[in-house]
């Protein structure tokens, strides 16, 4: 460690202690806090119109900018400690959002996420591109359950919408400087916005994150899981008339660091007496040297450092026109471009080459190189009707997307001095359009009915360039390659009602069907007997009922739900004649069902004190799924191909904790000087969740409780603030995702961040 880094870390810790001492030693405080009339009700636009959260007849959670900033939540991963029924995993550069047990299981590009991510209503269609945009936000809205009649892109699990801060009619902005952490974090957030001239407004926001690694590569001595990120967003708004608004937005996000690599968990077949398998724990390089896995779970011990080189940018144009008091029109146009180069040492060890268990291969092929290139264009047109009795949105949506992937696994995929062991290259072109409507009609002041529907048309063209090597022949392209298209269409209806027995209570019930397009994994191999690379659409039928209460300083929401997933798009394992003796293919392999309940409670018992609690119960299991287990050692011995499929019915679906709980109390008090201090904390609990359909404990995250806390001092000028924060106070080790690596017979995984802490000094104007 350099002297400069050590000095900086010492300074950061001293600064944090000084802030804590300053907050504690302030003069006696008065018990008068700012008035919080209305109980701090949150306004959301989940149904395409501004509504109080307690008036939305859907299961919606909203997280405001203050809550995000309190503990420096700057990633999607952090949302799972704030919102029930949402889980976040990642592997191989993929964001894997799950809601109510439905999410993305594939680790090859081309499969749509089951949980759609939108930025200001514009979809981010590629899972790898969902890891940016979490800066300068007004709030985050999470819609649970199938979505297809309110947003442009359909989704079977739910939708997450990031609402960015927009230009206002007055000059405003902020500068926040954060420093801290054992892995030294230096983070700068800044924004400025306001009027430029009559009818023209603008806003510019910047985020810079530089952080040392949470671990090291013991082989090279370099940091891993560090951060080197830039994010910039600019808004330019034109208001030529009182009825017309045009908002132009440009956004850029870059990363260039050594993060996201899979860490070693354990070998696939511990306790096996077969000599070649036993050798997995004690391997010898070609030069006779011994090598091993990392000595610390957050470290690597690999021949090469991981590479995470990402760049994405987008341009969005939104035009709003108020045609009349009852009718407003909206056009939402977006272009997104994404490029990511991802590399890691697949075997997670310092072996350059070694015999592969139970094969005749001389060397493994455990270095993984995956560049991904994608661009998408989308256009959405909306007509929103708002009268005394009718509340409706009618919309049309179009998306065109091109994805190109290079997926190479080999001894040397960086310099290409050796033939690849595996090559899964390919292109996928996507074209889709849809029309949808969502209508609510008030039959009386107390009772409303809801109807919705979506017609979708999807076309996908796949072109692959795939192959696999053997010990005898080296690498060979498959003699047959995919170059084919397929189309699908679907109609997904919804219906429901709202009943308000009085001004404080709303009862509702919804029925809906959801649809996720058929597709193919880019790089899927073709055999002489295969007829198509495509899987059919995944569909879900969902039922939900709930009650919402809001009166004075208290709000409470309860939702119960049940859904059935059919034609689930999952990977099935099957034997192949050459090493590594098994492969997987995306198929409509599974059916599942889930039921559960979610409760949210917000109470302001006295001035300054806020108690937010939420919890969920989820029972999500497969009702039909047959597959071979890649962690079954017998699969790779004599007669392994003849082993019957395992029956996975009754197993829990991935990323589906039975119990989740969040408690977020905050207390703000005034000081005699006119300043204020806010004490905040967040306690979150997740019960055990599996990362595999086989419910193997070696690929699971055990139950955990995580504690975040912060102390924020705001000066009497109401502009200057100092926030002392800590995330994962007890330093829990939590696996975010797991993966069974075929070529090296190992189990790897990604980890949630360790304890992080810092001090943020801010100035608002």
DSSP characters over 145-186: S-B-SSSSS-BSSEEEEEEE----SS-EEEEEEEEETTTTEE
Phi-psi region of 465 (alpha: psi -120 to 50; beta: other; left: phi over 0): beta
DSSP one-letter code for 624: E
Q: Compute the Cα dihedral for 576, 582, 585, 591 and give only its sign.
A: positive
Residue with tokens 């991981």: 306
Q: Please give the Cα distance from 155 to 148 (Å, whole number).
A: 6
Q: Does residue 219 lie within any of the structural domains?
A: yes
Q: Please give the Cα distance from 454 to 490 (Å, whole number).
A: 8
CB 156 within 8 A of CB 143: no
What would the two tokens of residue 647 be? 């029956």
pLDDT for 426 equals 94
Q: Does residue 248 lie within any of the structural domains?
A: no
Domains held by the chain: number: 1
DSSP 301-358: --SS--EEEEEEEEEEEEEEEE-SSSEEEEEEEEEEEEEEEEEEETT-BS-SS-PPTT
Nearest to 569 by CA among 508, 519, 525: 519
Nearest to 142 by CA among 131, 155, 132: 155
pLDDT for 361 equals 42
Q: Please give the Cα distance from 466 to 108 (Å, whole number).
A: 13
Q: Around Cβ 676, how many Cβ atoms within 10 Å?
A: 21
**Any residues with CB less than 8 A from the CB of 124 and at least 6 apart, and which?**
117, 118, 130, 133, 336
Q: Does residue 421 lie within any of the structural domains?
A: yes
Query: CA-based diameter of the chain, in Å?
Result: 83
Q: Does residue 162 lie within any of the structural domains?
A: yes
Nearest to 254 by CA among 195, 341, 181: 341
CB 58 within 8 A of CB 49: no
Q: Compute the Cα dihedral for 48, 53, 58, 63 and give only its sign.
A: positive
Residue with tokens 């939402």: 332
> Domain residues for 703?
3-239+256-764
The backbone torsions φ and ψ at residue 467, rounded to the nearest 5 degrees and listed phi first, read: -175, 170
pTM of the model: 0.88
Chain center to CA of 400? 22
Q: Please give the Cα distance from 149 to 144 (Å, whole number).
A: 13
CB 234 within 8 A of CB 240: no
Q: Where are the beta strands (DSSP E) in 420-446?
A: 420-442
**Any residues with CB less than 8 A from the CB of 270 and at least 6 apart, and which?**
none
Q: Does residue 251 lie within any of the structural domains?
A: no
CB 481 within 8 A of CB 540: no
Q: Does residue 250 lie within any of the structural domains?
A: no
CB 468 within 8 A of CB 475: yes
Name the stretches of the chain with pLDDT < 70.
1-41, 269-290, 353-365, 412-420, 470-474, 575-583, 636-640, 741-744
Q: Does residue 573 lie within any of the structural domains?
A: yes
| Domain harbouring 383, CATH code | 2.40.170.20
CB 283 within 8 A of CB 351: yes
Chain center to CA of 49? 25
Residue with tokens 């990642």: 90
The backbone torsions φ and ψ at residue 67, rounded to the nearest 5 degrees and listed phi first, read: -70, -35
pLDDT for 351 equals 74
Chain center to CA of 497? 31
What would the two tokens of residue 236 be? 């330019």
CB 239 within 8 A of CB 199: yes
Q: Does residue 629 lie within any of the structural domains?
A: yes
Q: Please give the Cα distance from 244 to 122 (Å, whole number).
A: 20
Nearest to 460 by CA among 519, 407, 399, 410: 519
pLDDT for 420 equals 62
**Any residues with CB less than 8 A from the CB of 14 and at least 6 apart, and which?**
none
CB 478 within 8 A of CB 578: no
Which residues lie across from 562 on neighbouring strands?
Answer: 543, 595
CB 110 within 8 A of CB 171: no
ω into 140 cis (within 30 of 0): no
CB 300 within 8 A of CB 306: yes
Mapped onto helix, strand or coil, the DSSP state of residue 695 is coil
What would the two tokens of residue 626 be? 């047959």
């Amino acid at each position: 460690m350099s002297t400069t880094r050590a000095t900086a870390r010492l300074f950061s810790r001293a600064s944090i202690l000084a802030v804590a001492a300053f907050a504690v030693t302030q003069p006696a405080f008065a018990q008068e806090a700012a008035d919080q009339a209305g109980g701090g009700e949150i306004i959301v636009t989940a149904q395409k119109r501004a509504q109080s959260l307690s008036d939305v007849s859907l299961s919606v959670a909203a997280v405001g900018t203050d809550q995000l900033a309190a503990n420096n939540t700057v990633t999607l991963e952090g949302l799972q400690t704030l919102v029930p029924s949402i889980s976040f995993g990642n592997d191989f550069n993929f964001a894997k959002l799950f809601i109510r047990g439905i999410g993305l299981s594939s680790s090859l590009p081309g499969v749509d996420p089951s949980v759609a991510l939108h930025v200001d209503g514009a979809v981010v269609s590629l899972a790898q591109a969902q890891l940016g945009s979490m800066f300068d936000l007004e709030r985050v809205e999470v819609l649970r359950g199938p979505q297809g009649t309110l947003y442009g892109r359909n989704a079977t699990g739910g939708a997450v919408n990031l609402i960015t801060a927009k230009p206002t009619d007055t000059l405003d902005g902020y500068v926040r400087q954060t420093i801290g952490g054992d892995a030294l974090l230096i983070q700068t957030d800044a924004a400025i916005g306001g009027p430029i001239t009559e009818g023209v407004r603008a806003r510019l926001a910047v985020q810079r994150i530089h952080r040392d690694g949470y671990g090291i590569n013991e082989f090279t001595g370099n940091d891993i899981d560090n951060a080197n990120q830039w994010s910039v967003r600019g808004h330019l708004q034109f208001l030529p008339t009182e009825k017309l608004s045009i908002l132009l937005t440009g956004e850029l996000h870059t990363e260039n660091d050594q993060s996201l690599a899979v860490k070693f968990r354990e070998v696939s077949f511990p306790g096996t007496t077969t000599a070649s398998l036993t050798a997995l724990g004690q391997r010898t390089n070609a030069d006779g040297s011994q090598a091993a896995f990392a000595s610390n779970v957050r470290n690597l011990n690999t021949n090469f450092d991981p590479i995470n080189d990402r760049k994405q940018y987008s341009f969005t144009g939104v035009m709003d026109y108020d045609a009349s008091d009852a009718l407003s029109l909206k056009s939402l146009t977006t272009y997104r471009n994404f490029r990511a180069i991802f590399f890691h040492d697949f075997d997670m060890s310092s072996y350059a080459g070694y015999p592969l268990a139970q094969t005749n291969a001389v060397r493994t092929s455990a270095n993984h190189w995956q560049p991904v290139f994608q661009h998408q264009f989308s256009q959405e047109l909306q007509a929103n009707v708002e009268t005394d009795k009718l509340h409706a949105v009618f919309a049309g949506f179009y998306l065109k997307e091109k994805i190109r992937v290079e997926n190479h696994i080999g001894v040397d995929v960086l310099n290409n001095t050796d033939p690849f062991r595996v090559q899964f290259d390919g292109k996928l072109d996507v074209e889709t359009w849809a029309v949808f409507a969502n209508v609510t009609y008030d039959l009386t002041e107390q009772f409303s009915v809801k109807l919705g529907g979506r017609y979708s048309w999807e076309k996908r063209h796949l072109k692959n360039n795939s192959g696999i090597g053997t010990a005898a022949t080296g690498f060979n392209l498959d003699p047959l390659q995919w170059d084919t298209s397929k189309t699908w269409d679907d109609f997904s209806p919804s219906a429901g009602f709202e009943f308000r027995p009085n001004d404080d209570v709303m009862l509702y019930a919804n029925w809906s069907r959801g649809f996720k397009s058929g597709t193919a994994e880019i790089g899927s191999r073709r055999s002489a007997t295969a007829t198509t690379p495509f899987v059919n659409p995944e569909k879900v039928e969902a039922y939900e009922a709930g009650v919402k209460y809001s009166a004075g300083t208290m709000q409470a929401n309860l939702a119960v739900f049940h859904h059935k997933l059919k034609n689930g798009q999952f990977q099935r394992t099957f034997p192949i004649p050459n090493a590594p003796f098994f492969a997987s293919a995306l198929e409509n392999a599974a059916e599942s069902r889930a039921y559960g309940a979610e409760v949210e409670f917000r109470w302001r018992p006295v001035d300054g004190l806020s108690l937010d609690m939420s919890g969920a119960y989820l029972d999500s299991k497969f009702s039909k799924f047959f597959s071979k287990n890649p962690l079954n050692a017998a699969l790779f011995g004599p007669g392994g191909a003849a082993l019957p499929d395992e029956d996975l019915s009754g197993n829990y679906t991935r990323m589906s904790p039975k119990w989740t709980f969040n408690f977020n109390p905050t207390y703000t008090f005034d000081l005699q000087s006119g300043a204020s201090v806010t004490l905040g904390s967040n306690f979150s609990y997740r019960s055990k969740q599996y990362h595999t359909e086989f419910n193997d404990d070696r690929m699971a995250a055990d139950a955990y409780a995580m504690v975040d806390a912060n102390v924020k001092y705001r000066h009497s000028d109401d502009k200057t603030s100092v926030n002392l924060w800590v995330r994962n106070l007890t330093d829990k080790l939590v696996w975010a995702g797991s993966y069974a690596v075929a070529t090296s017979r190992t189990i790897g995984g990604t980890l949630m961040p360790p304890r992080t802490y810092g001090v943020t000094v801010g100035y608002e104007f």
